[in-house]
Amino acid sequence: MRNELLVIEDTQVHLSILRKIASQAGYDTTCVDSVEDAAEVLRRRTFDCITLDLSLGERSGGEILELLAELKSRTPVLFISGSEGSERDDNVRLATSLGLVVYPQFQKPVDLPALRQTLQQIATIADCQKLVKAVRS
């Protein structure tokens, strides 16, 4: 069973790279390039992991954090951004204060082996959670 990853990224080159790394880590990917598209898909579906670029054109990927909190999401979020360290840190603090599950952040250009390893770890946790749910059902 493959896990589901939502990639929120507005640069096509990065989307392509993230899709490839995600596939290698055992994920099927859904890719969106705007806050609006991310909000639409998040209201309809759940995912095992989300990668989030913090700069999405004129909007901030941080807006997605508030939506995830509103949806009471427990989906792990990985920040993948070229933003300055202080902006990433502020968003990590915001996500944590909203009760979201935040994993280590990745600076662009991304350390691809480390990202692949992190995605695989999250997939393993998601698989275990799915097994527990199946046993309880």
**Residue 97: its pLDDT value, please?**
94
β-bridge partners, 28: 4
**Residue 85: its pLDDT value, please?**
67
HEC sequence for the chain? CCEEEEEECCCHHHHHHHHHHHHHCCEEEEEECCHHHHHHHHHHCCCCEEEECCEECCEECHHHHHHHHHCCCCCCEEEEECCCHHHHHHHHHHHHHCCCCECCCEECCCCHHHHHHHHHHHHHHHHHHHHHHHHHC
Q: What is the pLDDT of residues 100-116, one digit of tens each?
A: 999 878 988 899 999 99
Q: Which residues contact 123 (CB under 8 A, 6 or more apart)?
A: 3, 25, 26, 27, 48, 49
Query: Rounded to an integer, what distance in angstroms lies between the CA atom of residue 90 and that of residue 56?
Result: 16
Q: What is the pLDDT of residues 71-96, one digit of tens each?
A: 999 999 999 888 766 777 888 889 99
The number of folded domains in the chain is: 1
Q: Supply the CATH number for residue 80's domain.
A: 3.40.50.2300
**Residue 131: its pLDDT value, please?**
85
Task: Residue 94: give the domain boundaries.
Answer: 3-136
